[in-house]
Amino acid sequence: MLLAATGMSVVSVFGRWVADRPVLGDVELMQVACAVAVALFLPYCQVRNAHIIVDFFTARAAARTRRRLDALGSTLLATAMLVLAWRAGVGVADMKAAGETTMVTGFPFWLTYLAMVPGLALSGVIALNLAWRQWRGEMV
C-alpha cells in the first residue's frame, strides 16, 4: 500500500513538473493510504514487541517492577486499541450513513475506517494476550 502511494506521489510530482498535470487528490489519497498502512502495521509491531519503550525512569528499577510496568503498559495498549477498533467500527456506520467523502476525489471516508478496523482490533487482541502472559510472569 505504501509502495503504491509512493508511486502515485512520484507520478503526481512528475506530472506537475513536466505537464502541469498532477494526480487529482494526491494528498487525500496519500493520507488515506498512510492511515490504513499504520493501522495495519500495528499488529505486526505488537506481535514482535517492537513498539518504542522509554525506560529512562525504570532503567534502575527492579526486574519485577519493570515486568509489572510492562504488563500495565500492555493492558493499557490493549484497552486503547480495542476502544479505537470499536469506535472506528461505529464511525464506519455513521460515515456510510452520512455519505461523507473526501473533498477533491469524493473517496468515501468509511472505506478508510473500515480498512483500519481489523488492524486496530488485532493489535488489541495481541496486546491483551501479551498483557495476560506478562501478568502471569511468563514473559521475561
Q: How far apart are CA 22 and CA 134, in angstroms?
A: 50
Please determine, for residue 140, whether its predicted confidence score (pLDDT) is greater than 80. Answer: no
| Inter-CA distances, 87 with 26, 43, 110, Å | 27, 18, 12
Chain segment 61-83, per-residue pLDDT in tens: 998 898 899 999 999 999 999 99
Model pTM score: 0.84
The CA angle 77-84-2, to the nearest 5 degrees, is 90
Asked whether the beta carbons of 117 and 88 are under 8 A apart, the reply is: yes
Helix locations, 1-140, DSSP H: 2-19, 26-47, 63-98, 109-135
Please determine, for residue 59, whether its predicted confidence score (pLDDT) is greater than 90. Answer: no
94/57: higher pLDDT: 94
Helix locations, 48-105, DSSP H: 63-98
Residues facing 108 on adjacent strands: 101
Chain segment 1-29, per-residue pLDDT in tens: 889 999 999 999 999 999 999 999 999 99
Is residue 98 very low, low, confident or very high in pLDDT (cuts 50, 70, 90)? very high
Q: How far apart are CA 46 and CA 126, in angstroms?
A: 7
